Amino acid sequence: MRRFFVIWSMCVALFFAGAAAAQGWTPVSPEGGRYRIDMPGTPKVNVVPISSAGQTASMTEAVVQAPGANYLVSWIDYPDRIAQAHAADVLLDRARDGMAAGHTLRGEKKITLGRAAGREFVVAEANGTINAVRIYFARNRLYTLTVTGRAGIENQPDTRRFFDSFALVRPQAS
């Protein structure tokens, strides 16, 4: 009888631990983002000005800090004159190169999401920080998904869940 109680207690504890972990993941679809993703908590959404070559654009980002990892999804719209002047592969390569500048680029592969071209890669910083990254270019917009943590973060189940939950959605008609 005591053995049954111990096993039952462990099952109940595992159930509630699993339920607590499952409750921490939240579907996120910020207004104007044209995407949906699961994040391990409610994100802080910020608009950040980005300047390059004398021009400024706004990047919108959603960030969740979780134990052992930070999760970020962002998007920035490219002007037609840039997006139409270059193939998606060129724009993705430039974005990757910018993220990897001064660090070590590892494990890059080309990916797609529907008709959107993408890349998945890892950027290792000298201080030991690892950034697992997926980027996609769709309809003049660059989407960046990043999980930052320690060595091995790129293979963690939560990183894979975050990446694999990303979906592009069509804007709602008014």
Tell whether 130 is covered by a domain.
Answer: yes
> What is the tens place of the pLDDT at every residue in 130-172?
999 999 999 999 999 999 999 999 999 999 999 999 999 987 6
> What is the tens place of the pLDDT at every residue in 104-117?
999 999 999 999 99
Mean residue pLDDT of the chain comes to 87
Sorted by sequence, the CB contacts under 8 Å of residue 28 that are 6+ apart come out as 36, 37, 38, 39, 43, 62, 73
**What is the count of structural domains for the chain?**
1
- Is the pTM higher than 0.85? The answer reads no
Tell whether 64 is covered by a domain.
Answer: yes
Tell whether 12 is covered by a domain.
Answer: no
Tell whether 3 is covered by a domain.
Answer: no
> What is the tens place of the pLDDT at every residue in 56-70?
889 999 999 999 999
**CATH code of the domain covering residue 67:** 3.40.1000.10
